[in-house]
Structure 1
């Protein structure tokens, strides 16, 4: 039995086009830097459209690369290829996440619930059960 809870994370990139993202790339501030901690399940069309309307292209100095190993997003991914990221200005999003963690990453994909434009990414704290 999996236990899920709602948690706020930082969307620092998406997979797919910025105006109709296919999935979000979740991040959290860990040890003073924005680190990738997982990805979402594929977004439904309505959610992709709503989120896409709120995303802005990343400015200079974004901490993430444009390409990452697929295992950085999903530890069960046997694909050794890289995944192309569409970097965005970080925004806070609420996700439903399995409470099981592997180190500082979500063990399973998260489910996008909604954007949280009233929150600023710098205001999020790292969950206490993460290193």
Structure 2
């Protein structure tokens, strides 16, 4: 039977959700239900801030968690099979994340203005337009929709033309520098998961559409996850 557990972004407390070894014994080949039993035995002596992550095999309860835990900083659920071993190095679990549509400012692109590959997203944080993340590679239709609205900056741009990949998040193919094609800031609509830490998005955004009707200076900054 499948088990679902809340997936946190950056918890105020620490929640253990699986066990890989106990007393020198590798437990990764045990079924998840057996690993969970071992973890529950260990957790009987724990005290906050260390906690045992809740788990359920009830679909209705999992759906309720998905709805109510978002306000507590839970970005979604992780679903595991009760008979599943630990898939070391593999993506063997199903992650169900909360996503929301919001506006960001496209202040630059990776690629060219006529053929943008990714949007470099900004938000007015602390009174200045800050780089807060990037989108996943644009689809052909996304490139066609965005390109007509990309024009050279009208004045001094707040961003440099070269940045480190760490400024764009943890999704760079390699550590180093990357060239940006600066543009006159334009509002774009994106899909983001619930992973905003107050200064950047921790996961890639998904481009939806340009919003030339909106003012870049009026784009609100999301509230940080709790």
Q: Please give the range of the TM-score, normalised by the shorter of the 2 chains.
A: over 0.9
TM-score, normalised to structure 1, is 0.93
1:29 to 124, 128, 141: 124
Inter-partner Cα distance in structure 1 for 2:197 and 2:126? 17
- Match of 2:155, SS? coil
Alpha-carbon shift at residue 90 of structure 1 (Å): 0.3
Alignment of 1:59-98 (within 5 A): 59-77=154-172, 79-98=174-193
The structure that is strand-richer by fraction is: 1
Inter-partner Cα distance in structure 1 for 2:179 and 2:165? 9
- Match of 1:22, SS? strand
- Match of 2:149, SS? coil
Residue 8 (str. 1) matches residue 103 (str. 2): yes
Inter-partner Cα distance in structure 1 for 2:221 and 2:171? 24
Inter-partner Cα distance in structure 1 for 2:134 and 2:123? 12
- Match of 2:142, SS? helix
CA contact (8 A) 1:71 1:78 kept: no
Aligned residue pairs, count: 130
Q: CA RMSD in A?
A: 1.4
Per-residue CA distance 1:35-61 (angstroms, 9 max, x = gap): 000000000112101200111111331
Change (3 A) 1:80 1:40: same
Inter-partner Cα distance in structure 2 for 1:78 and 1:93? 24
Alpha-carbon shift at residue 128 of structure 1 (Å): 2.6
Pick 1 or 2: higher relative contact order, CA cutoff 8 A, min separation 6.
1
Alpha-carbon shift at residue 103 of structure 1 (Å): 4.0
1:109 to 185, 188, 204: 204
CA contact (8 A) 2:119 2:135 kept: yes
The structure that is helix-richer by fraction is: 2
Inter-partner Cα distance in structure 2 for 1:101 and 1:78? 22
TM-score, normalised to structure 2, is 0.55
CA contact (8 A) 1:66 1:86 kept: yes
Q: Which runs of 5+ in 2 are unaligned?
A: 1-95
- Match of 1:102, SS? coil
Alpha-carbon shift at residue 78 of structure 1 (Å): 6.6
Inter-partner Cα distance in structure 2 for 1:120 and 1:60? 17
